[in-house]
Structure 1
């Protein structure tokens, strides 16, 4: 296959590129700063020569967007919003002009689209979508993506939560704080954590490509979310740390100021179930957190 990954130089894009390249596919990366042969320059805002790359592509995956791991002041909020909307908009313009456009287009989204929920398990069908900055970003992003229908192009919005891998994302940070003795629960520890192993993430993307009946919003998470308190306890045990200092909310608020991030990333309960993947008989390699930990800590 010919696969285009827009914004593909980060943790998820890098792993997808490796996964698909090793299977003999051609993978091209759209990036602001091309460094390699398969990387093509684009600014994620305007049509350019990069548009030619979309011709005769099998798959388009858009992962573009400013990281939400920052303070939510007005400038960052605007950049978080515009980087997602503008890249989706300009890719749609390019796709519209293609003579032979990609057969499937997957756009990043987030499990943050669902409300804080400790009890209600959010599926694509019955998920409760709320109204705050993060949820409204996701809603606007998906609305921009789905508002244009192109004949012959299947669209899927990837509602992803925490992706666990050793070469990026949240896991190296969680491992580090646990080793330092700071691996207690964050806040009350009751907030649910939806997660997926990076290997299953890549397999799920391949599965969606191969199964033509899967489209629309898709929860790309493992089917067994767990509480923050339970997750940190399992991590301490796996790393042979007998204790971990808890971090109350007030402490997290202070720390987040110094670290330039937001407590929402730790305290929001993301309780998500991948109903579409399960119903399509996708087989997870890492269904439970313990098994994922064994693999990640013994690569």
Structure 2
């Protein structure tokens, strides 16, 4: 085994399952910190925590190779005051708690990756945003990201390297954004959304996992990294890629007024679809990391053929 222990805080969600599956043959044990107990599966076990208070779970962090923090309420909801408060608390509380515990441990994890969001950058349709020259945006979702990263950096952790991994939209077979887009295509409604000119920064789930291992294996790397494929594309082009891969010759477009009405009905926000996210992984590329899926066409075909 290459690693002794990988800890996934809030690891029972979609990305946690992706990472657990990726590392199960690479690590002696994988520990998922979760509010709910779960049966042991091979070398994957669950340890309960509430994300708010110290407990027996803190011993799991001792001398771990990697801690990945995946905590956070799903933002696919209406931004009511109640939901806003829950979105913030579900990110800030566990992140600050982990920082405090790591600071106090004699043998803390070697690397702590906090999975945040590439939506921290502004709506960009004029030029791409990278870690060096990108501009922070405005609005509730950006405020969540900036406060989240501030919580991540609140405590000094001299023995633990830290990486804020700003995640693009993850494409995968199960429970990612992709099945929802594919369902639209299957129903003949897979045309452009809004004016279709907004950029979509995306990353294949396998490259998400590979990037965490790359960061783990390169102890000189720390700070902010964008986790996004190097070839983003416009919404209209992404929908065409999915239609082509599925073999659907047409797709009805969804104008903005329709999206706004539909968002109310299904309890979400149009920002998730209409914001132009044009994000590049400059630091990963500069470090020598090579994406297995550089284009959306490659990623979509791989998912459909899986």
TM over 0.5: yes
Q: Is the 8 A contact 1:161 1:196 kept in 2?
A: yes
2:183 and 2:106 mapped to 1: Cα distance?
A: 49
Cross-structure match for 1:202: 209
Total equivalences in the alignment: 299
* Change over 3 Å in CA distance of 1:25–1:220 after alignment to 2: farther
1:22 and 1:290 mapped to 2: Cα distance?
A: 29
Structure 1 residues 143-222: aligned runs within 5 Å: 143-222=150-229
Q: Aligned-pair distance for 1:36?
A: 2.1
2:289 and 2:154 mapped to 1: Cα distance?
A: 28
1:216 and 1:276 mapped to 2: Cα distance?
A: 10
1:87 and 1:147 mapped to 2: Cα distance?
A: 12
Q: Is the 8 A contact 1:219 1:274 kept in 2?
A: yes
SS at structure 2 position matched to 1:265: helix
2:216 and 2:26 mapped to 1: Cα distance?
A: 14
The correspondence for 1:40, drawn from 47, 52, 57, is 47
1:119 and 1:131 mapped to 2: Cα distance?
A: 17
Q: Aligned-pair distance for 1:170?
A: 0.5
1:211 and 1:56 mapped to 2: Cα distance?
A: 17
2:256 and 2:221 mapped to 1: Cα distance?
A: 40
Which portions of structure 1, spanning 4 or more consecutive aligned residues, are displaced by more than 6 angstroms? Answer: none
SS at structure 1 position matched to 2:299: helix
With 221-230 and 233-242 compared, the bigger mean Cα shift is at 233-242
1:59 and 1:267 mapped to 2: Cα distance?
A: 35
Gaps of 5+ in 2: none
Does residue 97 in structure 1 map to residue 104 in structure 2? yes
Cα deviation digits, residues 36-84 of structure 1 (max 9, x gap): 2310001111111111111121111100000000000000000000110
SS at structure 1 position matched to 2:241: helix
Structure 1 residues 222-237: aligned runs within 5 Å: 222-237=229-244
TM-score (norm 2): 0.96
Cross-structure match for 2:17: 14
Q: CA RMSD in A?
A: 0.9
SS at structure 1 position matched to 2:56: coil
The correspondence for 1:129, drawn from 126, 132, 136, is 136
Q: Is the 8 A contact 1:214 1:276 kept in 2?
A: no
TM-score (norm 1): 0.98
1:150 and 1:273 mapped to 2: Cα distance?
A: 28
Q: Aligned-pair distance for 1:235?
A: 0.9
Cross-structure match for 2:300: 293
